[in-house]
């Protein structure tokens, strides 16, 4: 009798194990099928002084619907030289990690994606760390003053539309003002709007420089942090009133510009930017004074 009971117990345990394994597999499959297929991952450019402290690298993960979280907890940030770091995805989708210390002068590309244990090739993003000597001059440009539809989202994978006629005029002026200085483009937008603005800047031929994410609502703090990295700010050309106020409070010389959307063509762009060009290319007595 006990022998039969033992056999029955073995069969019951085997059935329990089979059911448990099936539940685990079905749960994993259900989680995979329920994962948001339209996740967006944005990596933001970083800024750092040469040989200085590590930059803070940021990324943002968001679902196809507002408020929908990604079904993942961690990202990995990697540089081409092999450096890597883990970045936790917060409840809001924000991730950050400290980058490498003591960077040499120049751009340093990095990629953000899921760890190898959770492969998803379509969920990756690239950005650049710009390392520049702390004493060298920079100039800030509000991206919305250069490229139309600056914060408008692009369809994923789509190329920016052909630039309006005034854009080439604006890019020419930016190249003149950025001569001998590193241009920094201030982008005030959400994550996907930021990615769109950066793509437009590159597609339209803006001089190379970081697209610095100015988090909406944190304008003053972000600009103060940027100035701490590169204090030699020649000027800030901005069209966003909040940015203009934040730059002035950071004791940066400010030039107000119209938004690129407000300019009807090359002639209007030339006329609007002529006073800015004259003011910022005139050599004041005693040299540049960024506090004026």
**Where residue 249 falls among pLDDT bands split at 50, 70, 90?**
very high
Please answer whether residues 60 and 93 qualify as being in contact, where contact means their C-beta atoms are separated by less than 8 angstroms.
Answer: yes
| Nearest-5° Cα angle at 208, 216 to 185 | 20
Percent of the chain at pLDDT exceeding 70? 75
Do residues 237 and 140 lie in contact, with contact meaning Cβ atoms separated by under 8 Å? yes
Q: Where residue 33 falls among pLDDT bands split at 50, 70, 90?
A: very low
**Sole residue written with tokens 């600056």:** 150
229 Cβ partners below 8 Å, 6+ apart? 47, 48, 49, 52, 55, 134
Indicate the range of 26-35, 139-148, 209-218, 240-249 predicted with least confidence: 26-35
Measured between alpha carbons, how far is 111 from 77 in angstroms, rounded to an integer? 6
- Looking at the DSSP bridge assignments, the partners of residue 79 are 110
Q: Are 170 and 146 in contact (CB under 8 A)?
A: yes
Query: Is the pLDDT higher at 151 or at 216?
Result: 216
pLDDT 10s digits, 270-292 = 999 999 999 998 765 454 444 33
pLDDT of 28 above 60: no
Average pLDDT of the chain, as a whole number: 83
Q: What is the pLDDT of residue 92?
A: 86
User: Residue 36: is its pLDDT beyond 60?
Assistant: no
Residue 47's CB is within 10 A of a number of other CB atoms, namely 22
- 100-133: per-residue pLDDT in tens? 999 999 999 999 998 876 666 668 899 999 999 9
Where residue 159 falls among pLDDT bands split at 50, 70, 90? Answer: low
- Alpha carbons 168 and 186: distance in angstroms, whole number: 19
Quote the pLDDT of residue 158. Answer: 54
- 20-24, 28-32, 139-143 — most confident range: 139-143
Q: How many CB atoms lie within 10 A of CB 10?
A: 10
**Cβ-count burial 60-75 (b if 16+ within 10 Å, e if not):** bbbbeeeeebbebeeb
Q: How does residue 32 score in pLDDT terms, banded at 50, 70 and 90? A: very low
Identify whether the C-beta of residue 99 lies closer than 8 Å to the C-beta of residue 48: yes
**53-75 average pLDDT score:** 80
pLDDT at 269 over 80: yes
CA 65 to chain CA centroid, nearest Å: 20
Q: 210 or 16, which is more confident?
A: 210
Architecture per CATH, 138-281: 3-Layer(aba) Sandwich (3.40)
More confidently predicted of 229 and 14: 229
What pTM was computed for the model?
0.82
> Do residues 146 and 185 make contact, with C-beta atoms less than 8 angstroms apart?
yes
Q: What is the pLDDT of residue 10?
A: 58
* CA separation for the pair 265, 142 (Å, rounded): 19
Task: Locate CATH 2.60.40.10 in the chain.
Answer: 40-132
Measured in whole angstroms, how far is the alpha carbon of residue 70 from the centre of its chain? 18
Residues carrying CATH 3.40.50, the chain: 138-281
Give the pLDDT of residue 149: 76
Say whether pLDDT at 30 is over 50: no
Q: For residue 123, what pLDDT is reported?
A: 82
Residue 135 corresponds to which tokens in the numbers above?
């004493």
CATH topology for 40-132? Immunoglobulin-like (2.60.40)
Query: Are β-strands 138-142 and 233-238 bridged in parallel, bridged antiparallel, or unpaired?
Result: parallel
């Amino acid at each position: 009798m006990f022998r039969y009971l033992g056999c029955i117990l073995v069969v019951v345990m085997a059935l329990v194990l089979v059911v448990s394994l099936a539940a685990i597999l079905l749960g994993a499959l259900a989680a995979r099928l329920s994962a948001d297929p339209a996740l967006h991952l944005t990596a933001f450019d970083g800024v750092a002084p040469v040989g200085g402290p590590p930059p803070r690298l940021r990324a943002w993960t968001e679902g196809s619907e507002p408020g929908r979280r990604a079904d993942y907890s961690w990202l990995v940030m990697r540089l081409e030289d092999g450096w890597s770091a883990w970045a936790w995805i917060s409840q809001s989708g924000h991730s950050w990690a400290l980058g490498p210390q003591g960077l040499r002068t120049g751009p340093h590309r990095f990629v953000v994606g899921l760890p190898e244990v959770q492969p998803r090739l379509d969920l990756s993003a690239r950005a650049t760390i710009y390392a520049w000597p702390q004493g060298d001059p920079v100039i800030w440009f509000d991206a919305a003053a250069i490229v139309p539809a600056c914060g408008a989202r692009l369809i994923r994978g789509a190329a920016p539309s052909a630039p309006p006629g005034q854009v080439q005029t604006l890019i020419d002026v930016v190249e003149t003002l950025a001569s001998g200085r590193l241009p920094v483009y201030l982008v005030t937008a959400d994550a996907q709007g930021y990615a769109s603005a950066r793509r437009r800047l590159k597609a339209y031929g803006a001089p190379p420089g970081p697209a610095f994410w100015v988090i909406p609502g944190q304008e003053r703090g972000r600009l103060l942090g940027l100035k701490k990295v590169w204090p030699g700010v020649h000027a800030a050309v901005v069209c966003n009133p909040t940015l203009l106020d934040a730059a002035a409070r950071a004791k940066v010389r400010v030039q107000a510009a119209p938004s690129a959307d407000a300019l009807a063509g090359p002639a209007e762009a030339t006329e609007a930017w002529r006073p800015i060009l004259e003011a910022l290319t005139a050599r004041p007595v005693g040299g540049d004074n960024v506090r004026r």
